[in-house]
């Protein structure tokens, strides 16, 4: 069965510091992995995806994610956090050939000025 774990409910970071939001997954076959961001009272917005190829994926707003097959992880990173990055972040996974995308419970990111 597919599953996604985001082990941190909340991540706090100071503006200008690097940030990491963690995600681990379990899926049969090769994974398709996604990160989404949700701002207050809005739907989810797509940030980036890993399908195949380079383990470091670059996405919107300066975010990137590192795919690690041996650790079944797909951590979201940004070299220098902005206050405007404060939001709810969701990791998601879909197995090869599957319809369903499984979402993690979400991690709330607070960036302090």
Partner 1 sequence: DVKVTQSSRYLVKRTGEKVFLECVQDMDHENMFWYRQDPGLGLRLIYFSYDVKMKEKGDIPEGYSVSREKKERFSLILESASTNQTSMYLCASSLPAGEGNQPQHFGDGTRLSIL
Report the distance separating Cα 86 and Cα 57, nearest Å: 21
CB atoms within 10 A of CB 27: 19
Q: What is the closest distance, in whole angstroms, from the C-beta atom of residue 70 to partner 1 in the complex?
A: 22
Please say which residue, 45 or 71, places its beta carbon nearer to partner 1.
45
Residues that bind partner 1 (CB under 8 A): 9, 32, 34, 36, 41-46, 49, 51, 90, 94, 97-101, 103-106
CB closer to partner 1 out of 78 and 106: 106
CB of 110 to partner 1, least distance (A): 16
Q: In angstroms, what is the minimal distance from the CB of 23 to partner 1? A: 12
Which are the contacts of 87, defined by CB distance < 8 A and separation ≥ 6? Answer: 37, 38, 39, 40, 108, 109
CB-wise, 52 or 70, nearer to partner 1? 52
- CB 16: neighbour CB atoms within 10 A? 12
Can you give the length of the chain in residues? 113
């Amino acid at each position: 069965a597919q599953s996604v774990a985001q082990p941190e409910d909340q991540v706090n970071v100071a503006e200008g510091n690097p940030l990491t939001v963690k995600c681990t997954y379990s899926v049969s076959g090769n994974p398709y992995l996604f990160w989404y961001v949700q701002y207050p009272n809005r739907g989810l917005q797509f940030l980036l995806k890993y399908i195949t190829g380079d383990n470091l994926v670059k996405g919107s707003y300066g975010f990137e994610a590192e795919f690690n097959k041996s650790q079944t992880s797909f951590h979201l990173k940004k070299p220098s956090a902005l206050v405007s990055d404060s939001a709810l972040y969701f990791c998601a996974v879909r197995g090869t050939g599957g319809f369903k995308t499984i979402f993690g419970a979400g991690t709330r990111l607070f960036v302090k000025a």
